[in-house]
Amino acid sequence: MKIAFYDTKPYDKIWFEPLAKEYDYKIKYFDYKLNSDTAVLSKGYDAVCVFVNDTVDKETIDILCENGVKIIALRCAGYNNVDLKAAKGRIKIVRVPAYSPAAVAEHAAALLLTVNRKTHRAYIRTKDSNFNINGLLGVDLKGKTAGIIGTGQIGRMFVDICRGFHMDVVAYDPYPAKDSDIEYVSLDRLFEKSDIISLHCPLTKETHHIINSDSIEKMRDNVIIINTSRGRLIDSAALIDGLKSKKIGGAGLDVYEEESEYFFEDFSNEIIKDDELARLLSFPNVVMTSHQGFFTREAMQAIAMVTIENLWSFDNGKSLENEVCYKQ
């Protein structure tokens, strides 16, 4: 099998290349993201491998099909960047549904602790030999209420972490986890009751901008919002307004609405032209990371293994356990 690997980073090769040799697959690594302009590079390949910020729309899929590509392998869990309707009956779509729930849940906890105890600011101060702790006041998490939106594997693991801090936990999910002891409440009740709100749900039509000006108005004062799922779960303009008014006490963001242009790249010598991104980065009570929640040794190993096994199953006519299909 010949695989066109898009949006390649140095760490991708570390994990994928040994498996490619083991399976006798030939991978061509492209730095470019997949879109309708770069899809032409897939000619002569059996498969393409893509990541979260590649654009797999109808136009791109049309070109892939014309080039003879038979399968698109997502090396991630989310697939909101894929036009499943355009792919139906023409090209297979597979993904990595669960690579390391612990990686993302633990990163959400890291963001929460950093926002609350302001360790990012303390680190900069002490590096500059400034040992003043004024302005670094946090709160005890013990006894606070964490509202978890989405209780898949990652969400349930974050529930366990919050309970480890002796927090009360409530959750919202239209498909509650069976046989769990999680207290499920309505979305409005979660907004009203929670001191911390953490997002662990997929991006769908229903969850797009689930955090917006109306929902923020229902929240407790000084609420902390954590997002390690998808950027468009939050209306960035509404989040900025909430931070400016001090309704929101802080935010920990591993994702951003328009992240595809910036995340995973180095813009340290350039001016950020996205005004909302630049504004969020300016807040002292906002901690933003570049979609690194998944980035652990265990997760990268699992992503590479499952991706290659997905391709092997297709190549050998086996059932595709991790196929994503269009549903009306």
**Residues labelled as active-site residues:** 230, 259, 291
Residue position matching structure tokens 């989040």:
239
What distance lies between CA 276 and its chain's CA centroid? 19
What CA–CA distance (Å, rounded) separates 86 from 57?
8
Half-sphere exposure in the Cβ direction for 8 (13 Å, CA): 18
Q: Residue 36 is encoded by which pair of tokens?
A: 């309708």
240 near 276, Cβ under 8 Å? yes
Which residue type does 117 have?
R
Which residue type does 5 have?
F
Sheet containing 286-288: order of strands: 183-184, 168-172, 145-149, 196-199, 223-227, 248-253, 286-288
**H-helix segments, the chain:** 10-23, 58-66, 84-87, 101-117, 119-127, 153-164, 187-193, 213-218, 236-244, 275-282, 297-315
All residues at 6 or more sequence positions from 22 whose CB lies less than 8 Å from its CB, including other chains: none
Q: Residue 133 is encoded by which pair of tokens?
A: 């702790």
Choose among 55, 99, 100: nearest CA to 80: 55
All residues at 6 or more sequence positions from 11 whose CB lies less than 8 Å from its CB, including other chains: 295, 300
